Amino acid sequence: MTSSNSEAIAIPEILQNVFLHLDRPSLHACARVSRLWRSWSLHVSWLIYHIPSQDIIDFLAQRCVHTRIVDGASERDQETDSEGCQLIQSKKPRFVREFKKQCFRIQSLTVGDDSHSELAVMRTIDKDVFPKWASALPIGLVNLVHLRFGLYCLTHAPIDSTFSADIIAGLISQNPNLQHLEFFSYRQPSYRVLFTALRSSPLQQLRRLELCCGLEDNGLSELLDLLATRSKFEHAEQDQERSSEPATASWNLEELIIRRRGGSSFERFVRDSRKSTAPPRPVAVRKLTLFNFCLAVYLHEQEEDESGRFQIDWSLIYHLCRRFPVLQRLQLSSDIPIDYMPSPVSFENHIYSFLRDLDEFEPFVIWNPEELAMAIIKACPKLTAIDLSHHRELHPEDWDLLLQHYAPRLESLSAWNVDQLHPQELMRLVPPSPTIVSRFGVHPSQKWVGLQELDISANSSLAPAIHMFLKFVPTLRHFKALSVPVEANQLLGFDWVCTNLETLAIHILIPTQAWPECEIWHWDVGKDRWRLIGDDMDEDEYEYLGMDAKLPFPPTVQESGNGGRQEDSSSDSESNSTHDSDTDTASASDTDSESDSSSNSDTSDSESDTDSSSDSEGSGDEDSASVITELALKRASKVATPKKRLTHSMQIQIAICQQLGRLTRLKELTLEGREDYRYDNKEWDCLHLTLRTGLDYLRPLQTNLQKLVIFQLDEELCGQEEMEWIAQNWVHQDNKAWQRAFKTHRSSSLEPPGSNGSPAAALGEEGVTPILLCPKFRELLGVSVCGKRQVSAREANMNAAWLEGQCPQLKVEKDVTGNRESFFYGQYQDY
Amino acid sequence: MPVILVSSDNQDFKVDKEVAERSILIKNMLEDVGESDSPIPLPNVTAAVLTKVIEYCEHHRNDPVQVPEETDDPRKRSNDIEEWDMKFMQVDQEMLFEIILAANYLDIKPLLDVGCKTVANIIKGKTPEEIRKAFNIVNDFTPEEEAQIKKENEWAEDR
């Protein structure tokens, strides 16, 4: 054995690091390698432990038996210790013994059930025979770093509630190094049990506290006062005052999460905060999350002023922000996205099915404009992440003020289902184009931290702003715009700069023909912001910007690294001198104005883009024609069907796929869109994800793509060639043995491999055992198997089954829904 | 401003400070020394290994610095290895462990994690005997201990 091998493996930290990446069966194998390996594999396998609700009695309780002794005329109760839990255990004794022996290794413990959305009742057995039992925590369970307590007791079982309260109190008191504490409860045990335990335990390492329980009455105030007492603000004051009382151990609490449940009402907190004359006691928490609180609950008795508005100090947000002066992340919304799983139900409909409260109280903006925003800015000047999704408290003016103020440091914005946020306000987060900066010099946006996360789902009015983020915000890593249909024309004509995207969820409308209408943004130097052309402009200015310019078809193919081609230039250059807008000319470079980028009428000499999508309409230069021919020939070798004329829709789809294919860091891609969709006398199509419509351009996504979600897309991915393409390019791209076997099989037969038997067996016919490397691509969710055009439902199912057989780790979820559900697209409302 | 690193076999490597400071050890040394042109000796790292380490740091020079608290949480481990890292780690086993040792010494946690994930991938799916053979480990269990452990693992898997 080489010395470096033995040395590396002998270092405990390295061995542990290796074991942390192993699953349980591998850990068991490692436990049998040598004594050193056994020791560390045991350590790692016990690091994380879960005691389900059903097993709590076995692991954390002991039974007390009361015996009645009749002695003459008197009776007395004698309490005796139990034998342990053996008589009522359902678990084998050796499990419990092993648990008590090894529990000192546990660092992360979940007691109860993992899912807070399910009620899990503790098992009680023979309560009539054994009416009393108590918690009995193993003495070795003292090294917890993370504790999740998810136990639900029924109110009519007080025994259960007392027992569970003892368990949580005991776990907290004997684990002083807890860093992450999660408390999930329904009615019992009450939050007061937790607060009592927290008051009496130092927990100086506590960094994160998550509650999912009722906070009725004054629960929220109690919690914030408890946190204020332990926060370092209080200690600074105490030091200054040289208090004679013993110092309370302080927490360095970073994060507080509260999920409203049951009878939580924050009305009393708001009322008490309004009445209080003392300044609010600050809490030194940097990340605050408040889920699922409803305005209407605590505002039913508010008082309107003369203008019909309400005083700002009735706002829960107002009072909360004043308590958290060092807040960096503010999240006041709903936890729906956390539980939402890709399905035939769209995210938007999912929202409406669970959160109808806002619809019932529309309109619901009740404060004066900008008042709440100014209060937030004043109270929490250091915010870097904002999630005010599903809120109606903020006017558009509030959003404008907030985003303008926080833009330089904002890293994350989540505003799904926020009707009061319009494109104009959202554009506060888009910096001016490089052209503008080079022309007018240094701009403050060059020092912006850069937006990394943006979620604007379920607000279709924001569609006009989407392409601007893809064009001018390179720092984006997570971008979600579910149920926000954006016209493909707006997404073309430039290279998407956000090549660091890891998550993209987008709804793309593919036009079936070229339409001249488009929206254009221009940078207003005077106001230092983007404006929609058409806002506050007269007709002359409108014409100057070439709104009526013909937008010929087809789009050009973008070469990698190209700065992108632009729309017509002549009218733009004239417009620059007439008003403050710096709408750039398109003679040789990017513009910061946006028009329908499928336009190609004034292709300048500097254009190097070629059109890869049109060999039928005669547009594009000669270079593009040769490229198209070359590509077509390559496909022809695979596809037996004769080359057909590419429609406008197909060409747009190809161009979109080209842009998507540049996002090589993508891990999760969600695509939405509907075919044969008609609105306003226009017909729309969607991405079909076939080889003829650009699927092959998505090949570079093989680098990192893990999940493709297409439940809300009318795709045609279930064809034989498409399924084979996925297997070749996203599953087995590095598997040479598989590729050889597949090529051999295809050349000898046109039938899909495995159509007459097991795919693996078919591929093994050549004597080559396919080495199934572990691909990154793990989930294909929502592939339609209902039958489309050339592919019957039977064939679609067969093809999907074949793909599933190619990789056991690949999860293929089929969409058997024939008809799409109705949805609300705002201006694209489906009737 | 470049930094000069000296390997155990006295070979000099000039690297950008930003690249060198991907190593917390080097970063702390530079902070202690202040502005100085003195080369930094790395007696535990050979030239061949240091070349690989510098290559890794160059490629990842713009990566965000990992927060120690997040990476220490056993519940947040990910087994993903980026394609570049995967190809980077396609070396013989001796070099693999040398890189791991160097990353541990130089305190470059992302490189250490990638190395350990690579070793974990080698282990996955193997029997204990295959693991011993792969890493040349001596079985120091007595036959009785082996039987007992095997039994314990059986009911542990049955749990």
Query: What string of DSSP letters covers A718-736?
Result: TSHHHHHHHIIIIISTT-H
Please report the pLDDT score of residue B6 as a whole number.
Answer: 93
In this structure, are residues A95 and A62 in contact, taking their beta carbons and an 8 Å threshold?
Answer: no
A14 touches chain B (CB under 8 A): yes
E strand map for A604-741: 668-672, 677-679, 682-685, 707-709
What token pair was written down for A705? 């793509």
* Bridging pattern class, strands A132-135 and A61-71: antiparallel
Please report the pLDDT score of residue A115 as a whole number.
Answer: 52
Residues A451, A407: Cα–Cα separation, whole Å: 8
Beta-ladder partners of A183:
A149, A211
Has this prediction a pTM greater than 0.80?
A: no
A20 touches chain B (CB under 8 A): yes
Please report the pLDDT score of residue A536 as a whole number.
Answer: 57
**Residue A816: CA count within 13 A, CB half-sphere:** 3
Contact A35 B94 (CB under 8 A): no
Residues B31, B43: Cα–Cα separation, whole Å: 20
A792: confidence class by pLDDT, cuts 50, 70, 90: confident
* Bridging pattern class, strands B2-6 and B40-41: parallel
Contact B132 A34 (CB under 8 A): yes
Other residues' Cβ atoms within 10 Å of the Cβ of residue B52: 20
Please report the pLDDT score of residue A116 as a whole number.
Answer: 46
Please report the pLDDT score of residue B101 as a whole number.
Answer: 93
Please tell me the distance in Å from B37's CA to the nearest CA on chain A.
Answer: 31
Contact A108 B74 (CB under 8 A): yes
Q: Which candidate in B117, B137, B151, B155 is best for mutational testing of the A interface (most A CBs within 10 A)? A: B137
The amino acid at B129: E
What token pair was written down for A367? 């404060």
Residues A47, A598: Cα–Cα separation, whole Å: 57
A772 touches chain B (CB under 8 A): no
What token pair was written down for A715? 């795709």
| pLDDT tens track for B55-64 | 999 998 878 7
User: For the CA atoms of chain B, what is the radius of gyration?
Assistant: 19
If DSSP codes are grouped into helix, strand and coil, which group holds residue B100? helix
Q: Is the bond leading into A189 cis (omega within 30 degrees of zero)?
A: yes
| pLDDT tens track for A470-520 | 999 999 999 999 999 999 999 999 999 999 999 999 999 999 988 766 667
What proportion of chain A, given as a percentage, has pLDDT over 70?
A: 67
A633: pLDDT strictly greater than 70: no
| pLDDT tens track for A174-184 | 999 999 999 98
What token pair was written down for A530? 């983007």
What token pair was written down for B139? 């079985």
A322: pLDDT strictly greater than 90: yes
Please report the pLDDT score of residue A208 as a whole number.
Answer: 95
A628: confidence class by pLDDT, cuts 50, 70, 90: very low
Q: Smallest Cβ distance to B137: which of A23, A34, A98?
A: A34
Helix (H) or strand (E) holding A93: helix A93-102
Please report the pLDDT score of residue A484 as a whole number.
Answer: 94
Residues of A in Cβ contact (< 8 Å) with B149: 31-32, 38
Name the most confidently modeled range: A65-69, A258-262, A626-630. Answer: A258-262
Residues A80, A73: Cα–Cα separation, whole Å: 22
Q: Angle at the Cα of B95 (from B93 to B98), degrees rounded to 5?
A: 110
DSSP one-letter string for B101-156: HHHHHHT-HHHHHHHHHHHHHHHTT--HHHHHHHHT------HHHHHHHHHHHHHH
Please report the pLDDT score of residue A576 as a whole number.
Answer: 34
A291: pLDDT strictly greater than 90: no
Residues A713, A292: Cα–Cα separation, whole Å: 30
Other residues' Cβ atoms within 10 Å of the Cβ of residue B87: 10
Q: Smallest Cβ distance to A32: which of B69, B112, B153?
A: B153
A30 touches chain B (CB under 8 A): yes
Contact B104 A14 (CB under 8 A): yes
Residues A455, A670: Cα–Cα separation, whole Å: 13
Q: Is the bond leading into A554 cis (omega within 30 degrees of zero)?
A: yes
A573: pLDDT strictly greater than 70: no
A215 touches chain B (CB under 8 A): no
Please report the pLDDT score of residue A24 as a whole number.
Answer: 82
**Which parts of A335-427 fold into alpha helices (H)?**
336-339, 347-354, 357-360, 371-379, 396-406, 423-426
Name the most confidently modeled range: A210-214, A360-364, A822-826. Answer: A210-214
Place of tokens 């109606």: A392
Give the mean model confidence (pLDDT) for residues A442-461: 92
If DSSP codes are grouped into helix, strand and coil, which group holds residue A167? helix
Q: Which residue has the higher pLDDT, A526 or A142?
A: A142
Ramachandran angles phi, psi of A691, nearest 5°: -65, -30
A643: confidence class by pLDDT, cuts 50, 70, 90: low
Contact A703 B83 (CB under 8 A): yes
A18 touches chain B (CB under 8 A): yes
Contact B131 A11 (CB under 8 A): no
| DSSP code for A497 | S
In this structure, are residues A404 and A428 in contact, taking their beta carbons and an 8 Å threshold?
Answer: yes
Residues A755, B37: Cα–Cα separation, whole Å: 69
Q: For chain B, how far is it from start to end, CA to CA, in angstroms?
A: 58
Residues B103, A395: Cα–Cα separation, whole Å: 52
In this structure, are residues A765 and A745 in contact, taking their beta carbons and an 8 Å threshold?
Answer: yes
* Bridging pattern class, strands A521-524 and A529-532: antiparallel
What token pair was written down for A582? 């710096």
Please tell me the distance in Å from B149's CA to the nearest CA on chain A.
Answer: 7
| CA A594 and chain centroid, separation | 29
Q: Which residue has the higher pLDDT, A98 or A366?
A: A98
Nearest residue to A671 (alpha-carbon basis) of A461, A463, A509: A509
Please report the pLDDT score of residue A442 as a whole number.
Answer: 84
A387: confidence class by pLDDT, cuts 50, 70, 90: very high
Classify residue A632 as exposed, middle or buried by CB count within 10 Å of its CB (0-12, 13-18, 19+).
middle
Q: Which residue has the higher pLDDT, A530 or A248?
A: A530
Nearest residue to B107 (alpha-carbon basis) of B15, B14, B39, B45: B45
A57: pLDDT strictly greater than 70: yes
Other residues' Cβ atoms within 10 Å of the Cβ of residue A364: 17
Q: Which of A65-69, A187-191, A281-285 has the least mean pLDDT?
A: A65-69
Q: Which residue has the higher pLDDT, B70 or A55?
A: A55
Residues B128, B131: Cα–Cα separation, whole Å: 5
Name the most confidently modeled range: A341-350, A382-391, A532-541, B81-90. Answer: A382-391
Residues A498, A513: Cα–Cα separation, whole Å: 28
Please report the pLDDT score of residue A278 as a whole number.
Answer: 86
Residues of B in Cβ contact (< 8 Å) with A705: none
Please report the pLDDT score of residue A94 as a whole number.
Answer: 78
Please report the pLDDT score of residue A215 as a whole number.
Answer: 80
Please report the pLDDT score of residue A441 as a whole number.
Answer: 82
Residues of B in Cβ contact (< 8 Å) with A29: 123, 126-128, 131
Q: Smallest Cβ distance to A94: which of B100, B136, B155?
A: B155
pLDDT averaged over 10-residue windows placed end to end, chain B, 159 residues: 90 92 92 82 93 94 66 57 84 92 94 92 91 90 86 60
Residues A534, A561: Cα–Cα separation, whole Å: 32
| pLDDT tens track for A747-775 | 776 555 444 433 444 444 444 333 344 56
In this structure, are residues A298 and A393 in contact, taking their beta carbons and an 8 Å threshold?
Answer: no
User: For the CA atoms of chain A, what is the radius of gyration?
Assistant: 32
Please report the pLDDT score of residue B127 as a whole number.
Answer: 92
Q: Kindly list the strands in the beta sheet with B2-6, ordered across the sheet, starting from the edge strand earlier in the chain.
A: B12-16, B2-6, B40-41
Q: In sequence order, what are the residues at sequence separation of 6 or more whose Cβ sits closer than 8 angstroms to the Cβ of residue A459? A: A415, A416, A417, A418, A419, A421, A484, A826
Q: Which of A106-110, A234-238, A602-606, B52-56 has the least mean pLDDT?
A: A602-606
DSSP one-letter string for A223-286: HHHHHHHHSHHHHHHHHHHT-SSPPPPP----EEEEEE-TT---HHHHHHHHH--SPPPP---S
Q: Which of A350-354, A430-434, A636-640 has the least mean pLDDT?
A: A636-640
Please name the residue of chain B whose CA is at the shortest distance from the CA of residue A664. Answer: B83
Residues of A in Cβ contact (< 8 Å) with B132: 33-34
If DSSP codes are grouped into helix, strand and coil, which group holds residue A333? strand
A85: pLDDT strictly greater than 50: no
What token pair was written down for A275? 């009445």
Please tell me the distance in Å from B83's CA to the nearest CA on chain A.
Answer: 6
Q: Is the bond leading into A363 cis (omega within 30 degrees of zero)?
A: yes
* Torsion, CA A657, CA A659, CA A665, CA A666, rounded to 10: -50
Give the mean model confidence (pLDDT) for residues A339-360: 74
A118: confidence class by pLDDT, cuts 50, 70, 90: very low
Please name the residue of chain A whose CA is at the shortest distance from the CA of residue B154. Answer: A28
